[in-house]
Amino acid sequence: MTEALRGPRSIPAAPRAAALTWLAWSCGAIGAVLIFVRFALESGTAAPDALALSSIVLPLAFPALGALLASRRPRHPIGWLFLVMAIAWGLADAAGAYGQSGSPDPALASLVGRLGGWPNYAGVGALMLILLLFPDGRPPSRRWRPVAWLIGAYTAPSVVLVAVAPDTAAVLQPLGLPLLVAAASSLVLRFIRATGLERQQLKWLVAASALVIPVLLVTVALDAFPHDP
């Protein structure tokens, strides 16, 4: 995987390479710890079953893959984006699990609850960039560059706004849908046009996206258009 990814590769000086490797694996470790924290909060004292264990194993693939790619190719954005996605969604899931665990400290529960919203936007922004930039770290063509800028222009303010005013999520979520669809479309078009090694690289991401993106779309739709039972 790491050798197959195309893109600029230069060997940094030894101290810098060691620092980047340490940073990559530290971020991967943080993402993994957050997954275990969420699992511990959700399971409580109950004995874990196969389904519960799968909720650990599958998410662990993101921080592990991100750490591996970022440490091997520190100048390539894909590994770092996987790490951002893993930490952001890990933080959001852990905060959500804590909020449902019945904390005896209302003030702490309120503080942690604020962590459950804005990291999702960082995670979705990283996901959209992965869809747009995979596998060579660049958009499919120059015409797709504005999409990358729009993703950044949407993600950064959304993280800040939801952190300060969580109610803005109801407005911001639908605004991100066109960008998510555009990023996914770029991946599909790249896959259709790809041949040989690049097509093999894209297969697994296309398959994973076919499972993840519909879930995100349905979640946003349900949040944006709530209905009374």
Hey, where are the domains in the chain?
10-115, 117-229
pLDDT value at position 7? 52
Q: What is the pLDDT of residues 170-222, one digit of tens each?
A: 788 888 889 999 999 999 899 888 888 888 878 878 877 777 777 776 666 65
Please state the pTM of the whole predicted model.
0.82
In the predicted model, what is the mean pLDDT of the chain?
82
Question: What is the model's pLDDT at position 45?
Answer: 47
DSSP 166: G
